[in-house]
Amino acid sequence: MALDRREFIRNSTIAGLGLAFLPKIGFANSVKQTLNIGFIGMGLRGEEHLKNALFRSDIQVIAICDIDPNRLKVGREMIEEKGKSPALEFGKDDYDYRNLLKLKEIDAVIIATPWLWHTPMSVDAMKAGKYTGVEVSAAMTMEECWDLVNTHEATGSHLMILENVNYRRDVMAVLNMVRQNVFGELLHMRCGYQHDLREVKFNDGIHAYGHGVEFGEKGFSEARWRTQHSLKRNADIYPTHGLGPVATYVNVNRGNRFISLTSHATKSRGLHKHIVDVGGEDHPNAGLKWKLGDIVTTTIDTANGETIIVTHDTNSPRPYSLGFRVQGTNGIWEVDGNRIYIEGEANKPHRWDDATAWLEKYDHPLWKRFASEAEGAGHGGMDFFVMNAFVESAKRQIAPPLDAYDAAAWSSITPLSEASIAGGGQVQYFPDFTRGKWIKRKPYNWMKDIY
Amino acid sequence: MALDRREFIRNSTIAGLGLAFLPKIGFANSVKQTLNIGFIGMGLRGEEHLKNALFRSDIQVIAICDIDPNRLKVGREMIEEKGKSPALEFGKDDYDYRNLLKLKEIDAVIIATPWLWHTPMSVDAMKAGKYTGVEVSAAMTMEECWDLVNTHEATGSHLMILENVNYRRDVMAVLNMVRQNVFGELLHMRCGYQHDLREVKFNDGIHAYGHGVEFGEKGFSEARWRTQHSLKRNADIYPTHGLGPVATYVNVNRGNRFISLTSHATKSRGLHKHIVDVGGEDHPNAGLKWKLGDIVTTTIDTANGETIIVTHDTNSPRPYSLGFRVQGTNGIWEVDGNRIYIEGEANKPHRWDDATAWLEKYDHPLWKRFASEAEGAGHGGMDFFVMNAFVESAKRQIAPPLDAYDAAAWSSITPLSEASIAGGGQVQYFPDFTRGKWIKRKPYNWMKDIY
């Protein structure tokens, strides 16, 4: 507990920013036994979070919110099935979530809504004094990135970006290896969101995946809101699944920061081709001009001299991969091919080793402890851990592992890459969301087995 | 032969540029039976070329040149062993190669010398009317890139950049697949020179590889001249092994061209660390500041809307890979992991297939025909093909597959990436070395089994 209190003091915005008032943040020795949560957004992602919450004995679901009554019903039935107390329900209009936020008994909220709602809802939640978890990506514009940071600082409410890939088993094992200096000094990383989303961006308005070429009002689930971003924006519109883990490896915002980037987009072909292939040349959507380049490449320079390549690749036929590569002065790991080379440790010079033995040897303490609990959770277990980190941080009212500065810095890739592409690859400079404090903020202590 | 004549007319600088005089270029129906060659540079690379030349019955080695008598001796003995006529020898000083170029009986020269000599020697060779083959990379500065183009145009002499990787079996099979539209419309490519050269850049002055941390005057072979580039330049100093094949896939300078790039370099750590690890902290070279970032990432935009990532990664422990990736609207191939995914053809949706069957199915006609001849040649056979293309083009006095415009465009990555890095990633624009003619130059006919 002493450690937690020190962490709180170090990480808290109060100590760092000298605010004139003290938010209602308890100290670590007053760890809550039960966290009262409200869920905003009961789509497929919100449903997954609710499912994981209902597995836990330290969460009480106070309220759920969705503007779609069918989705509210899904949430209600899940709660009933678990034999838990019924939750209050919100969603009579777009802003009914604000009534949920007024409930004093709610400690924390989880926001899993369409992207354009992430920042407005997070801002409102922090203003309401709620410990706020927001799905990825957290912000769509640079102004929204600042909204997250400024609201966090003004209110003292904590924000966690719920990046589940940071908790993937191999990603955490590699984090363990990074912290134990297996790769030496880090030099270069690669990552990205390489996922053929053509059957996610389009459907028939009934099935989520695999039917039809409708989107927007005629679409269902993600096709209803996500696809419009591909129509209108040429940018890395979904950067955090790749960037989150890598940013953690090199302690971005904690002794390091993103300095600048350049971005390049290919021509846009995949979505039009998909519409024509599936819906025919005469389909009304076949006439649309899609702004999003099929593959977007962003390269980031960090203050500490590393470079990071981030890829966005969602419109083309390809198997899924987040394309991780971590390279340092002692060696290199690549997720593709599950391979590793560590100087002096490799079985043969200049030859890859299978990474499995390394990943097992450096299995993260959290995974060692909670692997069986994680089994039922989504996305190979990582959803358990991101929820666990959120809940345990919120119960202690301490800063989360992935905070408002991370949410802002990672999400800012979207507006910055958009500007760079529009300028033919011109350099864009990251704002320093920490207002200079990255030079003294200490790396987050990832190497523990609690959360 | 009629085809060859048309090719000549199409490709020749005379037809294209309206020069006022006719260089001594024969028509295709006067194919030479024997090509008289001079070799400039008898280092390890020149030795390899000479070895491959001596296998051929259509080459006569007229002269060899090197300033190192030991290397001249190597060449002399190789010629003797093959029972061929002795070659004239040059190398009494740095400029004795010009006396070799004066020999009227020499049709063509192959230049395999330290990088800083590539352009000056190529320019002199073209001015002397020789069909010129130059090793990679062809030029070190933007002015040198222009020197190659301008001299070619002024003299009518042909220049071929001897990029052997363009002739690697998998690279040519993928070229075949590209031409047969297996990938659909190309969108995005990756490539690069990822090769741990620490034991090439440094040695003990006696062994080429694996001993000592000396370079420059105290070094041997490549360490004698190559390492200085890492000390003084922060750029992609060796771009063509990766970029050559990819440029060919998307017909750069022939209906397409490189428009712009941005480059980013990591900090420089690997060479200093290697010196300290091997030579100790007190070694005089341990005090040197190395300019070259350990990993240099360049992203190119093309006129046709593709993007290309080029990597230079030579200072760190890692297995060799040129990192090829070719991605289009129908699918994707990656050399790492030897994997492929083609929509509608894949064994399972969203799952990689092993690429072997595809590479075999699309084995290039040249490899089908000459695989057994290529077996004895260096670098897995590809050295045979690059020599074959050079010799067959020179015998016909037609433009080579990889010409002066290619040499200039590919090599210009070095000065452009240097300027971009120095500017913190600022966009750099490629000169149009074809002076606008790329819009009408036809793609080279790669799909033949002659050369």
pLDDT 10s digits, B382-427: 999 999 999 999 999 999 999 999 999 999 999 999 999 999 999 9
> Does A369 score more than 80 pLDDT?
yes
Asked if B317 lies within 8 A of A330 by C-beta distance, the reply is yes
Per-residue pLDDT tens over the stretch B223-282? 999 999 999 999 999 999 999 999 999 999 999 999 999 999 999 999 999 999 999 999
* Angle value at C-alpha B436, between B431 and B442, nearest 5 degrees: 115
Rounded distance between C-alpha atoms, residue A167 and residue A207, angstroms: 29
Burial A323-357 (b: 16+ CB within 10 A, else e): bbbbbbbbbbbbbbebbbbbbeebeeeeebbebee
Q: Which of B201, B231, B229 is nearest to B215 (CA)?
A: B201
Option in A184, A185, A295 nearest B188 (CB): A295
Residue of A nearest to B336 (CA): A337
Share above pLDDT 90 across residues of chain B, in percent, rounded to a whole number? 90
Q: Give me the residue spans of the domains in chain A.
A: 2-163, 167-366+402-450
Tally of CB atoms within 10 A around A288: 14
As a whole number, mean pLDDT of residues A229-248 equals 98
> Does A375 score more than 90 pLDDT?
no
ipTM computed for the complex: 0.93
Q: Which of A3, A445, A449 is nearest to A251 (CA)?
A: A445
Q: Which of B426, B252, B308 is nearest to A266 (CA)?
A: B308
The pLDDT of residue B3 = 38
> Does B20 score more than 70 pLDDT?
no
Asked if B424 lies within 8 A of A425 by C-beta distance, the reply is no
The pLDDT of residue B413 = 98
- Which of A189, A326, A329, A340 should be substituted to probe chain B, the one whose Cβ sees the most B Cβ atoms within 10 Å? A329
- The pLDDT-based confidence of B13 (bands split at 50, 70, 90) is very low
The pLDDT of residue A378 = 73
Q: Which residues, numbered 371 to 430 in chain A, qualify as contacts with chain B under a Cβ-Cβ cut-off of 8 Å?
A: 423-427
Asked if B329 lies within 8 A of A269 by C-beta distance, the reply is yes
- The pLDDT-based confidence of B29 (bands split at 50, 70, 90) is low
Rounded distance between C-alpha atoms, residue A136 and residue A410, angstroms: 10
Q: Which residues, numbered 210 to 239 in chain A, qualify as contacts with chain B under a Cβ-Cβ cut-off of 8 Å?
A: none
Q: What is the CA radius of gyration of chain B?
A: 22
Residue of B nearest to A337 (CA): B337
The β-bridge partners of A194 are: A313, A321
Residues of A in contact with B341 (CB under 8 A): 317-319
Size of interface A-B (CB pairs under 8 A): 150
Rounded distance between C-alpha atoms, residue A349 and residue B317, angstroms: 9
Helices A240-249 and A169-179 cross at an angle (nearest 10°) of: 20
Rounded to the nearest angstrom, the minimum Cα separation between B350 and chain A is 4
> Does A9 score more than 90 pLDDT?
no
As a whole number, mean pLDDT of residues A53-74 equals 97
> Does B377 score more than 60 pLDDT?
yes
Q: Evaluate whether B121 touches B97 at the Cβ level (below 8 Å).
A: yes
| Tokens read off for A200 | 């996610």
Any idea which of A69-83, A379-393, A417-431, B4-18 has the lowest mean pLDDT? B4-18
> Does B25 score more than 90 pLDDT?
no
Asked if B304 lies within 8 A of A423 by C-beta distance, the reply is no
Share above pLDDT 70 across residues of chain B, in percent, rounded to a whole number? 94
Any idea which of A19-23, B155-159, B307-311 has the lowest mean pLDDT? A19-23
Counting Cα atoms < 13 Å in the Cβ hemisphere of A344 gives: 7
- Average pLDDT of chain A to the nearest whole number: 93
Q: Evaluate whether A414 touches A237 at the Cβ level (below 8 Å).
A: yes
CATH 3.30.420.10 assigned to domain A167-366+402-450? The reply is no
Which residue carries 């670590």 as its tokens? A28
Which residue carries 């957004």 as its tokens? A41
Per-residue pLDDT tens over the stretch A316-359? 999 999 999 999 999 999 999 999 999 999 999 999 999 999 99
> Does A380 score more than 70 pLDDT?
yes
The pLDDT of residue A29 = 59
Q: Does B320 touch chain A (CB under 8 A)?
A: yes
Q: Evaluate whether A76 touches A102 at the Cβ level (below 8 Å).
A: no
> Does B2 score more than 50 pLDDT?
no
Q: Does A321 touch chain B (CB under 8 A)?
A: no
Residue of B nearest to A331 (CA): B317
Which fold, A2-163? Rossmann fold (3.40.50)
The pLDDT of residue B290 = 98
- Average pLDDT of chain B to the nearest whole number: 93
